[in-house]
Amino acid sequence: MDEKLVARTKHGELTLDQLAEVQPGMARLMKEIGERYHIVYYAAKGGNWKLALHETKEIIGLMKVAATVRPKYAHDLADFTRSTLDPISEAVKSEDWSRFDSAFKKGIVESNKLHEKYGFGFIRFVLPKNPPEFYDLSQQE
């Protein structure tokens, strides 16, 4: 039996293989993760801890997606989440800038180590000098 599983949409049919092929790769996911990491920093710095927590949770969710679509990275992504993102999340929840700043900087070092490990040492995250302009990063009531 050579039947292929097909999903039907209002735009046509897609095979399971086609759906698998269009899943986001690490380049797309890491771009979004990097942008959100940038937001986390400046939201925390501005006192908008709710936004910082929201973006941290989004990053953790994206790491799970990355582990699913690129299983060869799953172990390191889980370790990074546990050792780096979870402490950032805890510092954000406690609104502790000192703990946050330390954990955030560690995240940059650790992500750059992973890029190196997988042959992408030329990709080095640098925190942008300016906060993103598309969110209110100030403390919320």
Q: What is the CA radius of gyration of the chain?
A: 18
Long-range contacts of 71-77, Cβ-Cβ distance < 8 Å, separation of 24 or more: 73/26, 73/118, 76/114, 76/117
The residue with tokens 């299983």 is: 71
Give residue 31's pLDDT.
93
> How is residue 39 written in tokens?
């937001």
Residue 141 host element (H or E): none
Number of alpha carbons in the 13 Å side-chain half-sphere of residue 37? 25
Give the tens place of pLDDT for each residue, 14-65.
888 877 788 778 889 999 999 999 999 999 999 999 999 999 999 999 999 9
Give the tens place of pLDDT for each residue, 85-97.
999 999 999 999 9
Give residue 3's pLDDT.
64
| pTM listed for this prediction | 0.86
Rounded-to-integer distance, Cα 7 and Cα 61, Å: 25
Q: Is the pLDDT of residue 78 over 90?
A: yes
Give residue 2's pLDDT.
53
Cβ neighbours of 64 (radius 10 Å)? 13
26 phi, psi to nearest 5 deg: -65, -35
Q: For the domain made up of 25-117, give the CATH fold.
A: Four Helix Bundle (Hemerythrin (Met), subunit A) (1.20.120)
105 phi, psi to nearest 5 deg: -65, -40
> How is residue 129 written in tokens?
């000098």
13-22, 67-76, 125-134: range with highest mean pLDDT = 67-76
**Residues 108-122, mean pLDDT to the nearest whole number:** 95
Contacts of residue 50, Cβ cutoff 8 Å, sequence gap at least 6:
140
